[in-house]
């Protein structure tokens, strides 16, 4: 398994906030990242794969805040709460991301595991809000520090449009629930301008460049190095 890093930008300060660590399959072994994780699930090795992902991320992203994705099936195992997990060794802030489409059957177990992890100083982000499941109850029940808006909500967004007003209401709701908001999948400068007008807290996407290893510099569009 390989790993790449995508910068997450602080909108108001126009500077780096953190890096998200993204797993990538080794060339020629798996056709895609989802296939790699599905094979690990079927083999009963998803906890080990998640542990390897966190180990590589912590080792290769020294000096920066880090976002780490957790696959829902990892909650079937006890690895996430082991005191020797790599995320607890990272000396900078760590945020765990869980997808907003986690099946309800995982919720009770997920909630108890996350509570134990968060007592150790790890923050929580709900990922993929707006990707199709849209159970806003997760935000109320899990009280995440961050909510990440899916690319489906951001693509082609223009100020004043009906989709813009919809996303504005979601951003306002998240802020009222004391969660910061990240706009994911921002690919163009016009989308960046739109989400900035929405007053999201953070932005992530190809508008800043492709994910890479080592962690790439954050260059705000229209500025020079």
Specify the range with the lowest mean pLDDT, choosing from 5-19, 50-64, 74-88: 74-88
Q: Which uninterrupted H or E stretch holds 182?
A: strand 180-183
Cα–Cα distance measured from residue 214 to residue 4, given in angstroms and rounded to the nearest whole number: 7
85 pLDDT higher than 90: yes
pLDDT tens for each residue of 127-143: 888 765 456 777 888 89
Domains belonging to the chain, first-starting first, are 2-208 (3.20.20.450)
Confidence of residue 25 (pLDDT cuts 50, 70, 90): confident
Cα–Cα distance measured from residue 99 to residue 164, given in angstroms and rounded to the nearest whole number: 23
Confidence of residue 76 (pLDDT cuts 50, 70, 90): confident
Cα–Cα distance measured from residue 57 to residue 152, given in angstroms and rounded to the nearest whole number: 27
Q: What is the pLDDT of residue 225?
A: 53
Q: Which two tokens stand for residue 115?
A: 């509570």
Q: What is the pLDDT of residue 101?
A: 58
> Which alpha helices (DSSP H) does the chain contain, by range?
33-42, 46-60, 107-118, 137-142, 151-154, 162-176, 189-197
107 pLDDT higher than 70: no
Q: How large is the average pLDDT for residues 141-168? A: 93
pLDDT tens for each residue of 27-50: 678 888 889 998 999 999 999 999
Q: How large is the average pLDDT for residues 106-112? A: 74
Average pLDDT, the chain: 90
pLDDT tens for each residue of 167-223: 999 999 999 999 999 999 999 999 999 999 999 999 999 999 899 999 999 999 877
Q: What is the pLDDT of residue 103?
A: 54
pTM above threshold 0.75? yes
């Amino acid at each position: 398994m390989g790993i790449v890093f995508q910068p997450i930008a602080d909108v108001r300060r126009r500077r780096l906030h953190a890096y998200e660590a993204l797993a990538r399959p080794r060339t020629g072994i798996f056709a895609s990242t989802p296939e790699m994780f599905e094979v690990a699930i079927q083999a009963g090795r998803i906890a080990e794969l998640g542990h390897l992902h966190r180990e590589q991320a912590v080792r290769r992203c020294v000096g920066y805040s880090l976002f780490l994705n957790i696959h829902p099936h990892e909650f079937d195992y006890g690895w996430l709460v082991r005191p020797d997990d790599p995320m607890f060794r990272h000396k900078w802030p760590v945020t765990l991301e869980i997808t907003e489409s986690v099946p309800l059957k995982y919720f009770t177990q997920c909630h108890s595991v996350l509570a134990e992890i968060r007592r150790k100083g790890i923050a929580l982000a709900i990922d993929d809000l707006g990707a199709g499941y849209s159970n806003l109850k997760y935000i109320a029940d899990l009280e995440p520090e961050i909510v990440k808006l899916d690319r489906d909500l951001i693509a082609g967004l223009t100020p004043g449009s009906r989709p813009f007003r919809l996303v504005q209401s979601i951003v306002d709701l998240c802020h009222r629930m004391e969660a910061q908001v990240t706009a994911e999948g921002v690919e163009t400068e016009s989308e960046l301008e739109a989400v900035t007008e929405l007053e999201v807290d953070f932005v992530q996407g190809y508008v800043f460049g492709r994910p890479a290893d080592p962690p790439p510099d954050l260059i705000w569009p229209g500025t020079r190095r």
